[in-house]
Structure 1
Amino acid sequence: MKALQGVEGQVQWCERPSPACDVGQIRIRVAAAGLNRADLLQRAGLYPPPPGASDILGLECSGVITEVGPGSAWNVGDRVCCLLAGGGMAEEVVVDARHALPVPEGLSLAEAAALPEVYATAWLNLFQLAALKPGEKVLLHAGASGVGSAAIQLCKAFGNPCWVSVGSAERLAYCEGLGALGGAIRDVDLAGLRDFAPFDVILDPVGASYADLNLELLGRDGRWVSIGLMGGSKAQLNMALLLGKRIQLIGSTLRTRDDSFKAELLSDLGRQVWPLFAEGRLRPQLERSFAAKDVEAAFAALASNQVNGKVVLLIDESLV
């Protein structure tokens, strides 16, 4: 099968053996794969896959089941989308059957490829780890990103007012169109977020450069969930604020979680979130899709930081 590898900062298609389909697994003919920042980092050699995971790029994909291993309730021909530790950018992938969800009614396979990673990340960090309660206020840094776009919609659906930090006025308008109540532009007036504080939860993919501001903006018993390091990894914290406000600082990654954890997360997502797509309360935010031959352009688009929502790579255009 053809599969996509990151080699010395570039991406290239190569021939790889088809993986075996074992007990509790399903084989999927891949239609499309979502691009994520983890793919950019892995391409650059900065984010190797967890031990035992495929070194093929791609943390989420959609497609059609072509083989079902013993112990799975799926059927050949089912349309699914999957959360992966790697391997999604290939002609086929074998995955733990528990890590797949049905394509929501009314969505294309291209749209479905943009769902698993961002919705799993937003749901895990806001509603499971931060234990967000209805009515609590949320700040989403990088609000126009894939995770941010999913998080805004989830906050709106579950009764949580949210605000964002973004890179431009156009991106702020995009977030407000999804349901954010306002926000601030990163290089213009980030301190303007004080006007909306205090927040109960901050979802932060930036890291060190926002540390002082996060501590200031959080209210008593606030939760700061750190999911990325785009702004650096080392910061000095005012521990007096951390203690005085009883702030919880939660570090979170999803890719390295074990199979059972991911299975429980996907099961919860299927029960509580997936029905909202059929109801029209959630929508995939697929800004651009690229043919497999244009993979470098797809990665460049994501790296530009100008994408609102998601970029998807079309692996098999006959399916999408």
Structure 2
Amino acid sequence: MTKAVRYDEFGGIDVLRLDEIARPVPQDGQVLVETRAAGINPGEAAIRTGSMADIFPSTFPSGQGSDVAGVVTEVGLGVDEFSVGDEIIGFSNTRSAQAELVVVDVDNLTPKPPRVSWEVAGSLYVAGSAAWGAVHSVRLRKGDTVVVSAAAGGVGSLVVQLARRAGATVIGLAGRNNHEWLRSHDVIPVEYGDGVIDRIRDAAPSGIEAFIDTHGGGYVELALALGIDAERIDTIADFSAAAKHGVKTEPGPDAEPGAQVLAELAALIAEGHLEVPIANVYPLAQVRLAYAELERRHTHGKIVLVP
């Protein structure tokens, strides 16, 4: 037997529990991973509440989580790429990563570089892929100016760094307590809240070419009010506004995040070119506390579960 996060119905954090389940068995083309770290994400909370049931239907009992990093403990038939004992970063497409043992398709894995910590590795896929895809979606070029909402959050903190690597001037919307971190990464900090549109204009007197929204709640409309073309606005959080105004919500046809992108991001981290801030680490048994913190939406960086 082994332990995994489960829930039997849609609801708040109180539906989450840690269950004893049968040991998973890898099938052809799969490996069994002993989890060292598993990141948590706002999308998982939305799926658990049922607010995204039309896009991500659930069957119960449901597991939870996509991000995972750990050690290969068993391999299925036809797996030559990885062996028992290999340290990996990966992702599950079956909402099962928040567990002691996780079955993962071999195509969803990449080796973990030694210089990447378990906490960072285990929180990389969802936020990293979203950030990578958003930057590619708005086609950032050297000399562009881009605004990023929730710029110090789990996704936003990666967006601003990747946008700087693309050669853009980056304006990051965040609370004052995160402004020093943004400045240290060559990002122009602007406080969110009343009057933010005027503060953005003051920070970008020559104009703004793109906007990446990682928070939702009116930022698509704000981007349009700034005169930014819909083709260069991307939101990962406000799908109704995207549908209404025709802005982007996906990486686009030339950007398909997967294991290759995961490997690229891990290499940047290992080489010191990309930082993944870790806001907090919780034991798996405290999954409710972890999501309670996440859903307050004021963390700087990622929250991670460890067995």
Q: TM-score, normalised by structure 2?
A: 0.84
2:98 pairs with 1:89: yes
Q: Show CA shifts across 1:158-191 (max 9, x none).
A: 322211122x211233322333122232346343
- From 17, 21, 24, the counterpart of 1:16: 21
What SS is found at the alignment partner of 2:247?
Answer: strand
Check whether the contact 2:190–2:196 (CA below 8 A) recurs between aligned residues.
no
Provide structure 2 residue ranges, at least 5 long, that are not aligned to the other structure: none
2:144 pairs with 1:136: yes
2:120 pairs with 1:111: yes
Q: Who is 2:263 aligned against?
A: 270
Q: Who is 2:6 aligned against?
A: 5
Q: Who is 1:67 aligned against?
A: 74
- From 298, 301, 306, the counterpart of 1:306: 298
2:202 pairs with 1:195: yes
- From 120, 127, 137, the counterpart of 2:129: 120
2:37 pairs with 1:32: yes
Deviation at 1:126, TM superposition (A): 1.1
2:149 pairs with 1:156: no
- From 175, 179, 190, the counterpart of 1:172: 179
Between the aligned partners of 2:51 and 2:231, the Cα distance in structure 1 is: 31
Q: Show CA shifts across 1:120-171 (max 9, x none).
A: 11111212x33322332221111111000111221223322211122x2112
What SS is found at the alignment partner of 1:287?
Answer: strand
Q: Show CA shifts across 1:190-248 (max 9, x none).
A: 4311224432221113445223311132446851112113xx835997x7xxxxxxxx7
Q: Who is 1:295 aligned against?
A: 287
Check whether the contact 2:5–2:19 (CA below 8 A) recurs between aligned residues.
yes
Q: Who is 1:204 aligned against?
A: 213
Q: 1:235 to 1:88 in 2, by over 3 A?
A: closer
- From 82, 101, 107, the counterpart of 1:98: 107
Q: In terms of mean alpha carbon deviation, does 76-85 or 25-34 score higher?
A: 76-85
What SS is found at the alignment partner of 2:280?
Answer: strand
Check whether the contact 2:149–2:219 (CA below 8 A) recurs between aligned residues.
no
Deviation at 1:62, TM superposition (A): 1.0
- Which one-letter code corresponds to 1:27 in the other structure? L
Check whether the contact 1:64–1:80 (CA below 8 A) recurs between aligned residues.
yes
- Which one-letter code corresponds to 2:64 in the other structure? L
Q: Who is 2:247 aligned against?
A: 249
Q: In terms of mean alpha carbon deviation, does 218-227 or 73-82 score higher?
A: 218-227
Q: Show CA shifts across 1:265-313 (max 9, x none).
A: 3214424x33222221112211210122322221111112221001101
Check whether the contact 1:112–1:284 (CA below 8 A) recurs between aligned residues.
no
2:154 pairs with 1:146: yes
Between the two proteins, the alignment pairs up a number of residues equal to 295
